[in-house]
Amino acid sequence: MTLLTVCAWCGETIKEGDHDQPPSHGICATCTLKIRDGLRKPDLSRPRWIVVIPPDRSDVYRGLQRNFDTVAWVEAIVDRRVGERRRRAVHVEVDRRGLDRRTTAGNGVRSPAYRSAFQGDGFEVYEASG
């Protein structure tokens, strides 16, 4: 089985592979040249990877914080969610919401900011998708 490999910066396919598996990441030749020539700097305004740790796994959180403390594109956070946000099921006669809230006027579809990329023992990793 060959893994699909995509550029982590521009999303271009570097090597074709199995599309049923999560892709591997690398840096394509174009982005490598841009980096070398100083034309492209990584977008560090938001982390590329977010690692979410349950509140009862402080050992995992401390270890990830220690390992990724100086890495700007990785952020480890403790999950603050407590239970379901919707407390009760309410029957609504008429849905008064307008357009789908996940769309934009431009292209009709808005991608989520992060996608679930991996679930480990005591943590979940999300990758920036936009």
How do residues 87-128 score in pLDDT, each as one tens digit?
A: 666 777 777 766 555 555 555 555 567 888 888 888 898 888
69 and 118 housed in the same domain: yes
- Reported as a single tens digit per residue, the pLDDT across 35-46 is 776 665 556 667
Q: Which residues is 53 bridged to in the sheet?
A: 78
Instruction: Establish if 104 belongs to a structural domain.
Output: no
48 and 63 housed in the same domain: yes
For residue 2, which of 27, 25, 21, 26 has the smallest C-alpha distance?
A: 21
61 and 33 housed in the same domain: no
47 and 34 housed in the same domain: no
What is the chain's mean pLDDT, rounded? 77
Domain range enclosing 5: 1-41
Q: Which amino acid is at 32?
A: T
Number of domains in the chain: 2
Burial of 38 (0-12, 13-18, 19+ CB in 10 A): exposed
67 and 116 housed in the same domain: yes
77 and 30 housed in the same domain: no
The whole-number average pLDDT for the span 21-37 is 79
13 and 35 housed in the same domain: yes
Q: What percent of the chain has pLDDT over 90?
A: 3
Instruction: Establish if 102 belongs to a structural domain.
Output: no
pLDDT for position 58:
87
